[in-house]
A = this chain, B = another copy of it.
Amino acid sequence: MKNKEIPYKIYLEEKDMPTAWYNVRADMKNKPAPLLNPGTHQPMKAEELAGVFCDELIKQELDNDTAYFEIPEEIRNFYRMYRPSPLIHATFLEKKLGTPAKIFYKFEGNNTSGSHKLNSAIAQAYYAKKQGLRGVTTETGAGQWGTALSMACSYFGLDCKVFMVKCSYEQKPFRREVMRTYGASVTPSPSMETEVGKRILAAHPGTTGSLGCAISEAVEKAVTTEGYRYVLGSVLNQVLLHQSIIGLETKIALDKYGVKPDIIIGCAGGGSNLGGLISPFMGEKLRGEADYRFIAVEPASCPSFTRGVYAYDFCDTGMVCPLAKMYTLGSDFIPSPNHAGGLRYHGMSSILSQLYDDGLMEAVSVKQTDVFRAAEQFARVEGILPAPESSHAIRVAIDEALKCKETGEEKTIVFGLTGTGYFDMVAYEKFHDGKMDDYIPTDEELQVYRDKLPKID
């Protein structure tokens, strides 16, 4: 590796941007398990999904064979606004740690949504528009996905209806205002706009909502409103396909300078970022062309990979969505509200679950205060104030770099910096004030939810 020639920030030129997404499923020997109809337990067919999702996206969702999907020109035009994103050689961090390791990070936060979510939002909005739809619905918790979708819908002149978990709506008004700036309609959930919302409000008048409830409202709104469909920002195969742009750009940039990573690290909530980052590298591994260590990093408070089970489960707490086979903690599991990051999903992408089960990637869980210590250290030397989610990857990248310091190995570490933490300063404040704790569920707690998993033959 000719270190001297590598600039601090590697910006690809627009002409170097990938023109097709890569579908890692095409190279998987063991394909991810299909979605099942929650009633019949039979694989979902395209026509069953058509009322909920856009047609073109269903095709992408169900296609395990096509390796490359061309990125439509309209989407590539939008990508130009904030892509190619920089691959940064973390020289300041390396120096601070005194490690012989080389550290690179792919920074996806340089756009107003503040994260990689925009990569899939614009694709989903495009296909909805192409299908002649009027609008889309979705749910959002902390608001990153809702923000990204608002921007994408604004670009294509599509209505955007966001159900935002009520406590977030009230406690995090800034994200809500960003969505409104982009013309989205934002409704605190549960609401009186849907039947499921009314039922929940009748049963629990003072509830501040949950992601599961918001999903149910968004799905109901989509299927009951003419010209609307429902869209989702993570977990689904189609999302990982769109997010492969992250890994493809990373690989082009590394290849340009002759750098071959040893370890690739990403935070894992539903898997959208991790799956996107590792896809092209995993493809090489699956085809026997190269070998890499892949590490998924999850919070100790929501340890789907490291303490979940690989089983069919509901994707939402309302149990209205199809069943997916995945590493899951159970669809009723809700991590401690103390946990600051967005990595709160009970399950995990079916693709990543299969790859993990096949021993092709590793997973580690990290404690929250350790994550924020890494975040602060990173911010002070690299300048960028990271999102709590992204900081899970930073934590493990630093840990691996420190191992190299002990052994003297010059490993090359690449990690995904998915976003910025500008809307997460309440969490940073808790950390500074020593009011952040390290909740870890007990085995007994987890067993309660495992026992409730649906029984599928």
Which residue of B is nearest A175, CB measured?
Answer: B425
Say yes or no: B112 contacts A182, CB within 8 Å.
no
Bound-state Cα–Cα, A114 to B7, Å: 23
**Interface residue from B8, B376, B420, B432 paired with A80 (Cβ < 8 Å):** B8
In the complex, which residues of chain B have a beta carbon less than 8 angstroms from the beta carbon of A173?
425, 429
**Given A8-B81, A14-B7, A92-B81, A380 contacting B182 (CB threshold 8 A):** yes
A19 sits at the interface (CB 8 A): no
Q: Which of A372-400 contact B (CB under 8 A)?
A: 376, 379-385
Which residue of B is nearest A379, CB measured?
Answer: B181
Closest 8 CB pairs of A and B: A174-B425, A177-B425, A81-B383, A112-B385, A422-B422, A8-B80, A177-B429, A154-B380
Say yes or no: B9 contacts A80, CB within 8 Å.
yes
Which residue of B is nearest A430, CB measured?
Answer: B177
In the complex, which residues of chain B have a beta carbon less than 8 angstroms from the beta carbon of A379?
112, 181-182
Bound-state Cα–Cα, A432 to B181, Å: 8
Q: Which of A112-127 contact B (CB under 8 A)?
A: 112, 114
In the complex, which residues of chain B have a beta carbon less than 8 angstroms from the beta carbon of A432?
177, 180-181
A428 sits at the interface (CB 8 A): yes
A111 sits at the interface (CB 8 A): yes
Bound-state Cα–Cα, A7 to B384, Å: 26
Q: Which of A48-88 contact B (CB under 8 A)?
A: 80-82
Bound-state Cα–Cα, A47 to B8, Å: 40
**Given A8-B80, A11-B11, A183-B380, A385 contacting B425 (CB threshold 8 A):** no
A423 sits at the interface (CB 8 A): yes
A13 sits at the interface (CB 8 A): yes
A283 CB, nearest partner CB in chain B, Å: 29
In the complex, which residues of chain B have a beta carbon less than 8 angstroms from the beta carbon of A14?
7-9
Bound-state Cα–Cα, A180 to B80, Å: 34
A340 sits at the interface (CB 8 A): no
Q: Which of A286-311 contact B (CB under 8 A)?
A: none
In the complex, which residues of chain B have a beta carbon less than 8 angstroms from the beta carbon of A11?
11
Which residue of B is nearest A81, CB measured?
Answer: B383
Q: Which of A100-156 contact B (CB under 8 A)?
A: 110-112, 114, 151, 154-155
**Interface residue from B111, B154, B381, B384 paired with A112 (Cβ < 8 Å):** B384
